């Protein structure tokens, strides 16, 4: 009897089996455990003190959010917005974007960078959304069905799918971009070395649905202002609750800076 191509792991996930070798199981960090609700809310409250309490205002345009997020890949918000505005100015409907010569779409979105890759990707995505492209049905679709559909589109991962659900419809998701991944990892919201998909699952598991948007936005704000790739630990108001700082951040603190316990 041939060996199965996939097996079910203890946590319910499946993994491929190659030539009879056992599947690789995700390494567990014995020093990390999922934070409790009290800790998550304490981090939420501290961030709220720093950056306020952002309120989501879902715009109800899922295709627009999808295309904007594709345009945002490997560029900044300003370049993304310029590229998106030029695309919509040149092609007022999604059918026109889909059916246009690819080089014209590429020229329109050039300010966003990687236009030779993004233009055909956008057109392929739109081509899969039906004769009259539509994603409004995602508002009421079961979450897993919505995520599965979106992540099967070319170039669409968990972050992009989560952006569509939370920003277009207000559905509770926490898109994990580089800022959320960096800040959340340092704060111990998920295990060190977690993949983006694992971090996404952990963030959704520990975050009350009503706080998803706020925590997403404020983690990004903190990642941009203070918890940068080279973190400004001496200025950080979250030092006292940061495992990364306790383990490594002290070594980076400027001479003469006050220790965290005295702030």
What are the pLDDT digits (tens) for 71-107?
999 899 999 999 999 999 999 999 999 999 999 999 9
Residue 8 lies in a domain: no
Same domain for 148 and 68, yes or no, is: yes
Residue 50 lies in a domain: yes
Same domain for 71 and 151, yes or no, is: yes
Residue ending a domain, choose from 155, 178, 199: 155
Same domain for 132 and 178, yes or no, is: no
What are the pLDDT digits (tens) for 99-148?
999 999 999 999 999 999 999 999 999 999 999 999 999 999 999 999 99
Q: Quick one: average pLDDT of 255-259?
A: 39
H helices present in 36-177, as ranges: 37-51, 62-72, 77-90, 94-99, 102-108, 115-127, 143-151, 158-163, 169
What are the pLDDT digits (tens) for 161-197?
999 999 999 999 999 999 999 999 999 999 988 999 9
Same domain for 214 and 242, yes or no, is: yes
Q: The domain that contains 74 carries what CATH number? A: 1.10.340.30
Residue 4 lies in a domain: no
**Per-residue DSSP letters for 6-32?**
EEE-TTS-EEE--TTPPPP-----TT-
Residue ending a domain, choose from 126, 155, 184: 155
Give the residue numbers spanning the domain of 146.
62-155
Same domain for 69 and 147, yes or no, is: yes
Same domain for 151 and 183, yes or no, is: no
Residue 6 lies in a domain: no
Lowest mean pLDDT among 236-240, 245-249, 250-254: 250-254
pLDDT of residue 114: 95
What are the pLDDT digits (tens) for 34-70?
999 999 999 999 999 999 999 999 999 999 999 999 9
Query: Would you say residue 25 has pLDDT above 50?
Result: no
Same domain for 139 and 195, yes or no, is: no
H helices present in 109-211, as ranges: 115-127, 143-151, 158-163, 169, 178-186, 196-206
Strand partners, 16: 6
pLDDT of residue 64: 98
Residue 263 lies in a domain: no
Same domain for 50 and 177, yes or no, is: yes
10 falls in which pLDDT band (50, 70, 90)? very low
Residue ending a domain, choose from 94, 123, 155: 155
Same domain for 103 and 136, yes or no, is: yes
pTM passes above 0.85: no
pLDDT of residue 239: 94
Residue 138 lies in a domain: yes
Total of domains in the chain: 2
Handedness of CA 40, 42, 47, 48 (dihedral sign): positive
Residue 223 lies in a domain: yes
Same domain for 188 and 113, yes or no, is: no
Mention every residue, 6+ apart, whose C-beta is less than 8 A from residue 98: 123, 126, 127, 133
Residue 176 lies in a domain: yes
Same domain for 136 and 177, yes or no, is: no
Among 226, 31, 220, 65, which residue's Cα sits nearest to residue 138? 65
């Amino acid at each position: 009897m041939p060996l199965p191509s996939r097996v079910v792991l203890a946590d319910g996930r499946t993994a491929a089996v190659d030539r009879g070798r056992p599947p690789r199981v995700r390494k567990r960090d014995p020093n990390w455990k999922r934070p409790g609700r009290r800790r998550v809310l304490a981090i939420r409250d501290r961030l709220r003190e720093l950056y306020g309490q952002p309120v989501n205002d879902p715009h109800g345009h899922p295709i627009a959010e999808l295309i904007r997020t594709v345009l945002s890949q490997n560029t900044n918000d300003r370049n993304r917005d310029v590229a998106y505005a030029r695309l919509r100015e040149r092609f007022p409907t999604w059918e026109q974007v889909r059916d246009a010569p690819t080089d014209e779409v590429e020229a329109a979105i050039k300010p966003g960078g990687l236009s030779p890759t993004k233009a055909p990707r956008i057109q392929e995505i739109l081509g899969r959304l039906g004769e009259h492209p539509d994603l409004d049905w995602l508002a009421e679709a079961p979450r897993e069905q919505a995520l599965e559909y979106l992540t099967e589109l070319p170039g669409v991962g968990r972050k992009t799918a989560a952006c569509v659900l939370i920003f277009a419809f207000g559905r509770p998701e926490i898109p994990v971009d580089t800022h959320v991944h960096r800040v959340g990892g340092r704060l111990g919201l998920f295990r060190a070395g977690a993949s983006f998909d694992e971090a996404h699952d952990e963030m959704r598991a520990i975050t009350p649905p009503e706080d998803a948007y706020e925590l997403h936005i404020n983690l990004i704000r903190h990642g941009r202002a203070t918890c940068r790739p080279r973190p400004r630990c001496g200025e950080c108001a979250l030092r006292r609750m940061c495992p990364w700082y306790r383990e490594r951040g002290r070594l980076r603190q400027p001479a003469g800076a006050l220790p965290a316990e005295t702030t």
